[in-house]
Structure 1
Amino acid sequence: MRCLQKIIVNKALFTPGERKIADYILAQPDKVKAYSSQELAASLGISQSSIIKFAQRLGFKGFPSLKIALIEEWGQQSQQTEAQDGQLHNDISSHDTPAVIAEKLFREKQQALRDTTEHLDYASLEQVVACIREAGRIQIIGVGGSSLVAKDLAYKMMKVGYPVMNELDSHVQLTVAQSLGEGDVQLVISFSGNLKEITLAAGEARKNGAKVVAVTSLQESPLRKMADYTLDTLAEESRWRSSSIAVRTAQNTITDLLFVCLLQGDGERSRQYIRRSKGIIEQLES
């Protein structure tokens, strides 16, 4: 895992002092490149030993080795930005063969799946599953690529009898969101958590007493702050990309896991819905 991603991934586990260092590194790369550990500590108003311990927590011997790793990573990002003409998506270039592209895509998607499952809060997942099982109505929303993930989950849940609402139009999403109330659940899929359409809908649902579940990244965002529960998606987003392939892989990892957990708890009821659905569809083929 890249150094910057490791910092983002572990932010929720850091102490307040460590989060202060992490936020500064992410927001002020030019200053970090020039600072010694003593200068960085003075700028943040903390002890030099705190900087050293932070570096060691990330697996480095001290701040110099952490700084070297960060400078190399920032340099790679800069080179990738300059070389975008021949770049199709992240590490994939216009010169790669189909076989090489397939291998690179496999690694990218595999990494997103592994990072997401390894860092998932399974206690929160169980709470979300319990809320959905008891919900009167369930609204599942997303915008752009996330709307495809939302539609897929909505279809699966409808198939086994859940009272799901899923709309692609943001105006309709808002209209439905304001009608939610206590006992209802709104599941919001958004990697950034910053889109106005999403935050308005989540705000309306929460204001009226509905539970808001966010499938989102670890980065601080308006959606993350207002959600009752968060299911974290981890994907490499620091490099140039043509499409959010790794993000959708991470999101689908969460939604598929959520669906299978719901199936597990519903037992025979879900199996009956699936058999009936299969039987009806088979009539179309006969």
Structure 2
Amino acid sequence: MTRERLVEAPQDFEGLRQAILERRSELPKRLMQVAAYSLDHPDEIAFGTVASIASSAHVQPSTLVRFAQHLGFEGFSGLQLIFRARLRERNSSYEDRLKSIEADTTEVSENVAILNGFLAAAGRSIETLAKSADPDTFEKSVEILAKAETIYLIAKRRAAPISTYMAYAFGKLRVRNVLVGTAAGIDDDLVAMAGPKDAAIAISFSPYAQETMGQARALAARKIPLVAMTDSAFSPLAESATEWFEIVEADHAGFRSLSAGMALAMALTVAVAERRRRHKDER
């Protein structure tokens, strides 16, 4: 099989991720499917075989090879080396300390072992966000939200605690906001009230809440600025966002942490309030 296009292969995971994002509009459907799977399941790409990865991604093995060649690699093994290098880089002294915590669970009770497991997952989540958060995206998001007359907060299911906290914190900081989540079932009507001087924050993680996706698309169609928190570049929420943050939460015993999302929410809330205060003082 010949290479589909002559491009220079990315040298690291961040370069690979950027290449995928830049070319996603031109990727055929099956290659897009592999791209989404690779960013959502990087560890599986690093450790799996072509057959096992293809099965999990619901594509043919040849599609994985085509995807790698589309990005400039000779074959899938070259692409896989990037994912394995990412794992080696993540194996820092911080990760070693977390592994030590987990290893110590053999010396403690079952209850304390559960506590240690969730603490370790929370730590991993925070560490991942610390490495991946883009300062420019944060600055632009703060500016968007600080200029808004009203901030609409949209989240459902697992993401709901994050928006609820932001509503509480914004209220304490005297930042006008609307928490979209009513027992009366008028959430779409609330979102429809957002005007050109407002902005919104939408939060959703896989499996994505369809109501959140629909409200985000409605806001984007009306050109209302939207800051999103989600878990993949291929999330439907990212497509509607003016600015968006990728949050990959670690899990323990099948329960995913909210630690990184909550930390980002706290930082955004305080930074927006501080920017608004400075703008007021400048006037």
Shorter-chain TM range is 0.5 to 0.7
Tell me, in whole angstroms, the C-alpha distance in 2 between the residues paired with 1:174 and 1:193: 20
Map 1:120-131 → 2, pairs under 5 A: 120-131=133-144
TM-score relative to the length of structure 1:
0.66
Task: Decide whether aligned partners of structure 1 residues 198 and 48 sit closer, same or farther in structure 2, where only a CA change above 3 A counts.
Answer: closer
Tell me, in whole angstroms, the C-alpha distance in 2 between the residues paired with 1:222 and 1:17: 17
Unaligned regions of 5+ residues in structure 2, if any? 1-11, 55-60, 89-104
Matched residue type, 1:260:
V
Contact 2:157-2:209 at 8 Å conserved across structures: no
Of the candidates 49, 70, 74, which is equivalent to residue 74 of structure 2? 49
TM-score relative to the length of structure 2:
0.66
Contact 1:116-1:233 at 8 Å conserved across structures: yes
CA shift, 1:240, in A, is: 5.5
C-alpha distance after superposition, 1:143-175 (max 9, x if no partner)? 123112101111111211211001322832211
Q: Does 2:224 match 1:210?
A: yes
C-alpha distance after superposition, 1:3-24 (max 9, x if no partner)? xxx98x8863344789956556
Match of 1:220 in 2: 234
Query: RMSD of the alignment, in Å?
Result: 3.7
Matched length: 226
Match of 1:13 in 2: 18
Match of 1:32 in 2: 51
Match of 1:198 in 2: 212
Map 1:93-108 → 2, pairs under 5 A: 97-108=110-121
Decide which structure has the larger Cα Rg and report it: 1
Match of 1:261 in 2: 271
Contact 1:128-1:213 at 8 Å conserved across structures: yes
CA shift, 1:221, in A, is: 2.1
Tell me, in whole angstroms, the C-alpha distance in 2 between the residues paired with 1:235 and 1:154: 22
Map 1:1-286 → 2, pairs under 5 A: 12-15=17-20, 20=31, 22-23=35-36, 31-33=50-52, 40=62, 43-44=65-66, 46=69, 49-59=74-84, 97-169=110-182, 171-192=185-206, 194-236=208-250, 241=254, 243-244=255-256, 246=257, 248-267=258-277
